[in-house]
Amino acid sequence: MLARRSIVAVLWVAVAIADDGSGTSDGARGIKRDTSSYVLGPNDLIGVVVPDADDISARPYRIDTGGALTLPLVGSVRAAGLTVRELELELAEKLSSYMKAPQVLITVTEFRSQPVSIIGAVNSPGVHQLYGSKRLIEVLSLAGGLRPDAGRICRITRTGELNEDMLKRFAPSSDGLHVAEVDLQSLLAAEKPTDNLIIRPHDVVSVSRADTIYVIGDVGRPGSFLLNDREPLSVLQAIALAGGVTPGAAPKKARILRLSPPNSEREEVPVNITAIMTGKSPDVKLTPQDILFIPNNAPKRVAIRATEAAVQTLTGIVIWRSAR
C-alpha cells in the first residue's frame, strides 16, 4: 500500500513538472519557476499530493470563485490569499488529525487568478497572467514588447483600494478608478527607476500610439510619419521625410489642414514653402494629426510634360538618324 501511494505521489509531481502551465516549469523552454511564494486566488487549478492519502492525490482541484478549496478529509478551507507554501502548511495541520506528520505538496497547474490586461501599441495585446511580483517593464515584456508605433505614454488603470504610497502615483478618475501615467522614454532610458511600478492583478496597462502627421500631394513619398520621441516636426522637416516636393508642385500654395476642437473640423493654414526655404518666412511647427498638403501647379505641370515629350521625340529622331 505504501509503495502504491508513493508511486501516485511521484506521478503527480512528474505531471506537474511536465505541464507547460505548471508552477514549476515553462514546458519546452525549460525555465524553472518557483511558485512557493505565489499567492493563490479564485479559479487557480492546483494539484495536491499527500503520499499517505490516495483520495486526496487522485485528481486536481480548482479554487472556487469565492476563494475556497474543498478536499476529502479536510473539507472546505480558505485558499485565496495564501501562498502555495502557506496552503501546504495549512493542509498539513488539518490532516494531522488523521495521520502522523503528513507531507503535502502543492503544484499550480493553471494560473487563472492574477490577470493583467495589456492593450495598445504592444506586439501581443491581451490578458496575461502574473507569476509573482512583476514590474511594468516585465509586464510589457509579457506582451511581446513595444511596437514601432508606440508612443511615450503608458497608462496604468487600477481598481480597488489603494494604500498611501499608491495614492501618490495614481490619480482618481471620473469613473471611480485610479490612473497613473508613465513616460516610457525616461523609463526605458533608466532615467526614473521609480516609474517601473509594481503591477497588480486586474490592472489595465495601456500603451499609447505615437502621434502622427501626414504629408500628401506633390511630394516624393506621400504618407504618414510617426513622431515617436521626436520633437514636433516642422514643415521643412516633414517635406524632407516625404522625399521633397516634385517639379510640378506649387509650394507657394501649400496648406496645413489642422483639427480645430471642439467640433473636430479641419481649418486651413496657408503655408508658403518657397518663402520658408529662402529664409523670408519662419518655419512652421506641425502638431499631431496635421495634414500638410502640397498642391500641383497645373500650367507648370503641362509645360513639364510638353518638355518631356519634346525631349523624348528629339531623342527618338537622333536614334533614328544614327541608325541610318
With beta carbons less than 8 A apart as the criterion, state whether 39 and 78 touch.
no
Pairing relationship of beta strands 212-217 and 291-294 according to DSSP bridges = parallel
Say if 312 falls within a structural domain: no
The phi and psi torsions of 318 (rounded to 5 degrees) equal -60, -40
Last residue of a domain, one of 186, 209, 232: 209
pLDDT band for position 292 (cuts 50, 70, 90): very high
Top-confidence residue, 25 or 86: 86
Amino acid, single-letter form, for residue 209: R
User: Which residue has 500631394 as its cell numbers?
Assistant: 217
pLDDT band for position 323 (cuts 50, 70, 90): low
Last residue of a domain, one of 209, 240, 261: 209
If asked whether residues 122 and 221 sit together in one domain, one would say no
pLDDT band for position 178 (cuts 50, 70, 90): very high
If asked whether residues 178 and 94 sit together in one domain, one would say no
Question: How many Cβ atoms sit within 10 Å of the Cβ of residue 217?
Answer: 20
Torsion of CA 91, 96, 101, 105, to 10 degrees: -20
Q: What angle do CA 86, 92, 96 make, to 5 degrees?
A: 150
If asked whether residues 125 and 91 sit together in one domain, one would say no
Q: Which three cell numbers stand for residue 36?
A: 512557493
* CATH number of the CATH domain containing 82: 3.30.1950.10
Of the candidates 87, 85, 39, 79, the one whose C-alpha atom is nearest the C-alpha of residue 63 is: 79
Helix (H, G, I), strand (E, B) or coil at 293: strand
Mean pLDDT of the chain: 81
Long-range CB pairs of 14-22 (<8 Å, 24+ gap) are 15/47, 15/109, 16/47, 16/107, 16/109, 17/107, 19/109, 21/109, 21/110, 21/111, 22/107, 22/108, 22/109
Q: What angle do CA 241, 243, 247 make, to 5 degrees?
A: 145
Q: Is the pLDDT of residue 71 over 60?
A: yes
Say if 322 falls within a structural domain: no
If asked whether residues 194 and 251 sit together in one domain, one would say no
Question: Is 295 buried (19+), middle (13-18) or exposed (0-12) by CB count in 10 A?
Answer: middle
* CATH number of the CATH domain containing 234: 3.10.560.10
- Domain span at residue 240 reads 212-300
Amino acid 216: pLDDT: 92
Amino acid 53: pLDDT: 85
If asked whether residues 205 and 219 sit together in one domain, one would say no
Question: Is 222 buried (19+), middle (13-18) or exposed (0-12) by CB count in 10 A?
Answer: middle
Say if 314 falls within a structural domain: no
Q: Is the pLDDT of residue 57 over 60?
A: yes
Say if 251 falls within a structural domain: yes
Number of compact structural domains in the chain: 3
Tell if the pTM clears 0.75, that is, is over it. no
pLDDT band for position 190 (cuts 50, 70, 90): confident
Say if 321 falls within a structural domain: no
Question: Is 120 buried (19+), middle (13-18) or exposed (0-12) by CB count in 10 A?
Answer: buried
Say if 323 falls within a structural domain: no
Q: Mean pLDDT across the stretch 106-128?
A: 91
Q: Is the pLDDT of residue 182 over 90?
A: yes
pLDDT band for position 175 (cuts 50, 70, 90): confident
Q: Mean pLDDT across the stretch 90-109?
A: 91
pLDDT band for position 180 (cuts 50, 70, 90): very high
If asked whether residues 56 and 130 sit together in one domain, one would say no
If asked whether residues 135 and 235 sit together in one domain, one would say no
Last residue of a domain, one of 66, 92, 110: 110
Q: 23-32 burial string, b = 16+ CB within 10 Å, else e?
A: bbbeeeeeee
pLDDT band for position 85 (cuts 50, 70, 90): very high
If asked whether residues 166 and 227 sit together in one domain, one would say no
If asked whether residues 218 and 275 sit together in one domain, one would say yes
Top-confidence residue, 315 or 210: 210
Cis peptide upstream of residue 262 (ω within 30 degrees of 0): yes
If asked whether residues 241 and 284 sit together in one domain, one would say yes
Amino acid 241: pLDDT: 92
Top-confidence residue, 264 or 249: 249
Q: What angle do CA 294, 298, 299 make, to 5 degrees?
A: 135
If asked whether residues 183 and 202 sit together in one domain, one would say yes
If asked whether residues 216 and 296 sit together in one domain, one would say yes
pLDDT band for position 322 (cuts 50, 70, 90): low
Amino acid 23: pLDDT: 43
Torsional class of 180: left (φ above 0), alpha (ψ -120 to 50), beta (otherwise): beta
Say if 85 falls within a structural domain: yes
